[in-house]
Structure 1
Amino acid sequence: MRVALGLSYRGTGYLGWQSQPSGQTVQDRLEAALSKFANRPVRTMCAGRTDTGVHALNQVVHFDTDVARDAFSWVRGTNRYLPRDIAVQWCRPVDERFHARNGARGRRYTYVLLESPVRPALEAGQAGWVFRALDDGAMRQAAAHLLGEHDFSAFRSSECQAASPVRTLRRIDIARHGAYWRFDFEGNAFLHHMIRNVMGSLLAVGQGTCTPEWLAQVLAMRERRLAAPTFAPDGLYFLGPNYDAAFALPERTAAFDWLP
C-alpha cells in the first residue's frame, strides 16, 4: 500500500533533504528510521527538496510498503528512531494515484527575518538577520512585479536542474511583528534557491540600495548576475504543499502556531 507522511524538521544540522553519500540529510535519516521500524528497506519521495539549513513545517512524503501498521503506529514508531530535530507529524494511507511531488498543486514557504542592530542568539539558524531598517512599502511594490507567471532565470541557481525556469508566483505577503518580518510565498513550484535569491533582492530594495522598478528590470533581463546575492537559508521554512481536497491530507501542523 502507499502511505503519506507529514514531516517537520529543523534543517540547521543537515545537508538539505536529498540523500547524499554522507548520510547527513533529512531523507537519509527518515529512510533509516522507517526501515528500522518496518524491518525492511523503505524509500521515500518528497513534495519539495529543501536546501542545506532550510526548515520544514509540513514536508509531505510518500512511500510504498507491504508492512501493515496503523497510521498512529507509523508516527510513533518512526519517531522513536529519528533525531530530536526531525519528527513525523501525521500519517495517512493513500491510494496509488497519490504522488507527493507530481500531485502537488502548489507549495508554500515563509521567510522569518530579524531586523535588529544586534545579531540573533536564541534565533540563530532559525531567522535571517538584517541590521538596517527596511521600507515596507518599497518591498511591497517590488514584490508586486514578481506575481504571476514569469521566467525566473534571474533568481535561479546555476545548479538548478529544473527543465524550465517558468514558474507562477500566486502570492507574496509581507508582515511585521515587532522586530521580526515574515515573508510568505505561494506558487505552483520554485526553482533551486529561488526564494533566497528573491529575498536578497527584496531586501536590497527594502534597505534603499535599489528601487522597486529595478526588481522588475532584473526579472525581465533574466540574468542571475544582475540580481542581489543569495540570502541566508536560516529563516526559510517550507510550509508544505497543497493537494486535491479528495486526498484529505492535513495542511497544518502544530509548528504553524509557533512561527511569528
Structure 2
Amino acid sequence: MPAAFPDPDRTATPVEWTVPEQAPAAEQTRPAAPTARLRLDLSYDGSAFRGWAAQPGQRTVQGELEDALARITRVPLRVTVAGRTDAGVHARGQVCHLDVPREVLATLPGRSDRSPVESLITRLAGVLPKDVVVHVAREVPGDFDARFGALWRRYRYRISDGPAVHDPLRRDVLRHRRHLDVPAMARASESLLGEHDFLSFCRPREGASTIRTLRELRWERPDVGRADEGLVVATVVADAFCHHMVRSLVGTLIAVGEGRRDEGWPAQVLAARTREAATRDGLGSAPMCPPQGLTLDHVAYPPDEELAARAAIARARRG
C-alpha cells in the first residue's frame, strides 16, 4: 500500500476511501503540440517606457511586445530577453526568444507567399507602437536561450557635456553641464577590467552572484565626421551585467571626469564591496547616472552547437 495513504487498521477513526477521477484516455495520451523557437532582434526608444519587464498598470517594452504577439497569433506568448533594461534605457540590439506552436505559425502568411517568420515581422510592424521595432525574426534551435546563451553584451552611454554639441532631437544622449576630462576617465577605467565582485556597482538580486567579467570599458570623444562627433561616449562590454551596473560604472567615472574624484577612486569603490551609501569622508556604493544616455547596442551568441553548453555555464555562474 502506498506510504501516502494511512493504514485503515491503525487509524482510530474510519477512513472514507475515494478513487481519484481519471482523465479521459485521449487527454492522458495527447502529446504536447510541437513548437518552433523564434529569435527576435529588436530596438526601442526607452523614453516612454517603465523598462523592459512587464508590470501591472505600467507601459513596458515586454508588455507591448507580448500584447502585439497575442493580437497576431490569438494565443498568449511569453518572451525571454537578453537583458532587462531599466526605465528610460534604449536598445538598438536587443534580443529575445519565444516558443510558438507550429500550427499557429503556419497560419500567419494567410494567402500570401511570404514565409511564416516574414509574415510575423510584417504583421508586428502593423500593431506595435512607433517606439518599438522588430527588425528580424528567425527560427533557431531549441537550445537557444536569449538570456543565458549570450557570450557578451555591449552597451554604449552617450553624454553631451557642452552647448556646442547639445542636440534637442537626440533622446539617447544625457545633457551634462560640466566639461569632462575623457583621458582621465579612460585611465581610471583600467582598474575595473577583468573578473571582479561588482557588489558596489550593483543592486543585487537575492541569492544571485555579483561577480562579472568586464571585458571593455572605453571612453572616447569622436572626431568630426565620425558618428557621435563631439559627444563623450563610453563603450561597456561584459559577459553579463547586474542590475544598474552600467549606470553605476558611468556615474563613478563621471565624478573623475569632472575632477571631483581622483583616478584611483573607482578602484577603491570596487574593493569596498558594499551597498552602504558613502559618507562625506568614507567609501560607499557607486553613484548612479541617469538612464537617458544608455543604449543596449549588441548581444553576441556562440555557434548553434555550443548553445546548450553556454546556457548551462551561465546559469551555474549566476545562481
Query: Given the two structures, how large is their TM-score scaled by the length of structure 2?
Result: 0.73
- Say if 2:98 is the partner of 1:98: no
Letter in 1 for 2:250: M
> Which whole-Å deviations, capped at 9, do the CAs of 1:5-46 have from their partners, x for residues lacking one?
001000010100001001410000000001111121111110
Match in the other structure for 1:181 = 232
Q: Structure 2 matches for 1:22-41, cutoff 5 A?
A: 22-41=57-76
Q: Distance in 2 between matches of 1:141 and 1:121?
A: 28
- Say if 2:43 is the partner of 1:8: yes
- Say if 2:298 is the partner of 1:240: yes
Q: Distance in 2 between matches of 1:117 and 1:216?
A: 32
User: SS in structure 1 opposite 2:192?
Assistant: coil
User: SS in structure 1 opposite 2:264?
Assistant: helix
Match in the other structure for 1:21 = 56
Summarize the Cα distance change of 1:93–1:107 in structure 2 as closer, same or farther, 3 Å threshold.
same
**Between structures 1 and 2, the one with greater strand share:** 1
Q: Structure 2 matches for 1:97-116, cutoff 5 A?
A: 97-116=143-162
Consecutive unaligned residues in structure 2, runs of 5 or more: 1-35, 109-115, 223-228, 278-283, 306-319
User: SS in structure 1 opposite 2:213?
Assistant: strand
Consecutive unaligned residues in structure 1, runs of 5 or more: 248-260
Summarize the Cα distance change of 1:188–1:36 in structure 2 as closer, same or farther, 3 Å threshold.
same
Q: Is the 8 A contact 2:37 2:97 kept in 1?
A: yes
Letter in 2 for 1:182: V
Q: Distance in 1 between matches of 2:138 and 2:121?
A: 10
Summarize the Cα distance change of 1:162–1:181 in structure 2 as closer, same or farther, 3 Å threshold.
farther
Q: Is the 8 A contact 2:62 2:79 kept in 1?
A: yes
- Say if 2:288 is the partner of 1:230: yes
Letter in 2 for 1:173: R
Select the structure with the greater relative contact order (CA < 8 A; seq sep ≥ 6).
1
Match in the other structure for 1:197 = 248
Deviation of residue 229 (structure 1)? 2.4
> Which whole-Å deviations, capped at 9, do the CAs of 1:129-162 have from their partners, x for residues lacking one?
222111122111111011000010111126x457
> Which whole-Å deviations, capped at 9, do the CAs of 1:193-237 have from their partners, x for residues lacking one?
111111111000011111111111111011242244210100100
Match in the other structure for 1:58 = 93
Larger CA deviation: 112-121 vs 99-108: 112-121
Match in the other structure for 2:15 = none
Radius of gyration: which is bigger? Answer: 2
Tell me the C-alpha RMSD between the 2 structures.
1.8
Letter in 2 for 1:232: P
Query: Which of 193, 206, 211 lines up with 1:166 in the alignment?
Result: 211
Deviation of residue 117 (structure 1)? 4.5
Summarize the Cα distance change of 1:175–1:121 in structure 2 as closer, same or farther, 3 Å threshold.
closer
Q: Distance in 2 between matches of 1:118 and 1:228?
A: 30
Deviation of residue 118 (structure 1)? 7.9
Deviation of residue 179 (structure 1)? 2.9
Letter in 2 for 1:60: V
Letter in 1 for 2:60: T
Q: Distance in 1 between matches of 2:118 and 2:300?
A: 22
> Which whole-Å deviations, capped at 9, do the CAs of 1:92-124 have from their partners, x for residues lacking one?
101211111111111110101111148956246
User: SS in structure 1 opposite 2:122?
Assistant: helix
Query: Which of 138, 155, 158 lines up with 2:184 in the alignment?
Result: 138
Aligned residues: 246
Q: Is the 8 A contact 2:42 2:94 kept in 1?
A: yes
Match in the other structure for 1:253 = none
Letter in 2 for 1:93: E
Deviation of residue 245 (structure 1)? 3.0
